[in-house]
Amino acid sequence: MNEIKNKWLELIIVLSAPLLSVIDVFIINVAIPTIKRGVHATDGEVQLVIAGYLLGYAAFLITGGRAGDHFGRKKVFFLGMFAFTIASCLCGLSQTALQLNVTRIFQGLSASFMVPQTIAFIQLLFTDTKERAKAFGLYGITLGTAAVIGQVLGGYLSDLHWFVEGWRLVFFINLPIGIVTLWATHKFVTETVKHQNTKFDYTGILILTGALFSLIYPLIQGREAGWPLWSFGLLILSGLLFVFFIYNQKIKLSNNENPLIDVRLFRIKDFNIGLVAVLFHFMLHTAYLLLSAVYLQNGLGISALDSGVYFVVPGILFITSSVMASRLIVKFGKRVLQVGVIILLVAFSLQMMLWKPGISTWLIIGLMGIWGFGNGLVLPSLLNVALKNVPSQYAGAAAGIYSTFQQTASALGVSIIGGVFFYFSKNGWQTAYHFGMICLLICVFMVGIMLQLLPSMKTDAETSKKMIKTI
């Protein structure tokens, strides 16, 4: 009995990593207007406050997972949490937009070393299939709930004015949480077996980081600069770097050099379709939270505190539908997610038509509640959809690719859809929101197509293994 309690205690402690990392993405959304004024930032610079964090996060997720194998997961988790706490304080102390964006990248980088250890701990602590399913379900619910908590906290803290400006508390709140987590990790979490033969693919890390930076940075700053030649040059360079990265990984795999990612996984059709679904859903998920938070304040004249509170009801409905989905998906499969997609299409369409100055509070909350319920049917189950046919021996590598796709998609959502939103803001916030919602509807439609392409019946595991071997 004590062993079971200890396992769940360790899980609760390590779940603080995804909780904090996701909160730190979304706590910024509601605080964006006050942060912009606080550091005298442009629209592009405040987009980078979110996208820069996601860039540092996505680029080193796989490396962070490998570090846990090599040095021990408890040690890497502890050091990652320590660095994350320090970086959060530096963000709160920033005086300029440049300082804030640089420290946000380091904050995302530190998160990329602590978060993968959570997934690894779940796999190591819960060997029973049912217990592991419950643990992963709790992990998925934590991610979605953290997004909503972030929105609420961002609104509440932004309106506070103590001895420092309110927006700085958005970052300083991580200090007490980080200290408690570090103490609990040291006292209660046990170290895992170290695999000292694990080698890092340093060139792979550099190529992937360069490709992601060359994609994200011009999408944000290029619009604001009037799309100069350097922005198109970087976009072309990003495409070339991604192609070279895949080629580099194939060569290393054929030479048994332990590449950053196992490209053989892309031979599994269902895995590829699942990743595309993840790409579009996390683009729309992150972008929606940014667009709605900014529009509620700038377009509808709602305070930061009140706009944050508006996310409570959709948060509750998200948790409710997430729990429902975890049970229903066993019986109905992808149809649960398809119902969620339909609900999202309805929610976004109604918001695009009805969210205008003068709209009642209850209608805003009601439409956001529909979004929260539909999102809960889709988001937590995407991990299961993307990885369901991956052979067990490739589960770790597949999870790393999935996490990288997820964070990159979130950065792209802020960069592309957020860019469209801020571009049209010069014509009024209502016009900006209208065009932003059109982008979101396109993304939802693409998620629906990907889910339709997924087979209803589970692919035989042996078939997946044969696909992997035919590289």
Q: DSSP string spanning 33-53? A: HHHHHHTT--HHHHHHHHHHH
pLDDT tops 90 at residue 371: yes
pLDDT tops 70 at residue 94: yes
* Nearest CA among 295, 371, 309, 303 for reference residue 340: 371
The C-alpha atoms of residue 282 and residue 447 are separated, in whole angstroms, by: 10
C-alpha Rg value of the chain to the nearest Å: 21
* Cα dihedral value 216, 217, 222, 228, nearest 10: -110
* pTM value > 0.85: no
Q: Which residues contact 2 (CB under 8 A, 6 or more apart)?
A: none
pLDDT tops 70 at residue 216: yes
Tokens at 90, concatenated: 């530096």
pLDDT tens digits for range 254-276: 888 878 787 888 888 888 888 89
Task: Categorize the per-residue pLDDT at 456 as very low, low, confident or very high, splitting at 50, 70 and 90.
Answer: low
* Nearest CA among 143, 167, 171, 145 for reference residue 156: 167
* Vertex 394: Cα angle to 391 and 398 (nearest 5): 110
What mean pLDDT do residues 202-228 have? 83
What mean pLDDT do residues 36-40 have? 86
Q: What pLDDT shows up at residue 461?
A: 47
Q: Which of 121-135, 285-299, 336-350 has the lowest average pLDDT?
A: 121-135
pLDDT tops 60 at residue 471: no
pLDDT tops 70 at residue 235: yes
Q: What pLDDT shows up at residue 233?
A: 94
Q: Which of 122-126, 327-331, 412-416 has the lowest average pLDDT?
A: 122-126
Task: Categorize the per-residue pLDDT at 368 as very low, low, confident or very high, splitting at 50, 70 and 90.
Answer: very high
Residue 96, SS3 per DSSP: coil
The answer to whether the CB of 320 falls within 8 A of the CB of 329 is: no
Task: Categorize the per-residue pLDDT at 253 as very low, low, confident or very high, splitting at 50, 70 and 90.
Answer: confident
The C-alpha atoms of residue 50 and residue 385 are separated, in whole angstroms, by: 27
Q: 357, exposed or middle or buried, with CB in 10 Å at 0-12, 13-18, 19+?
A: exposed
Please report which residue ranges of 39-96 form alpha helices under DSSP H. Answer: 43-59, 61-71, 73-93
Q: 176, exposed or middle or buried, with CB in 10 Å at 0-12, 13-18, 19+?
A: exposed
Tokens at 170, concatenated: 């958005």
Alpha-carbon distances of 388 from 267, 392, 470, rounded to whole Å: 14, 10, 20
Task: Categorize the per-residue pLDDT at 467 as very low, low, confident or very high, splitting at 50, 70 and 90.
Answer: very low
The C-alpha atoms of residue 26 and residue 14 are separated, in whole angstroms, by: 20
Task: Categorize the per-residue pLDDT at 33 as very low, low, confident or very high, splitting at 50, 70 and 90.
Answer: confident
The C-alpha atoms of residue 122 and residue 18 are separated, in whole angstroms, by: 13
DSSP label at residue 257:
-
Tokens at 310, concatenated: 């508006």
pLDDT tops 90 at residue 88: yes
Tokens at 260, concatenated: 């950053």
The answer to whether the CB of 73 falls within 8 A of the CB of 126 is: no
The C-alpha atoms of residue 458 and residue 317 are separated, in whole angstroms, by: 29
Task: Categorize the per-residue pLDDT at 307 as very low, low, confident or very high, splitting at 50, 70 and 90.
Answer: confident
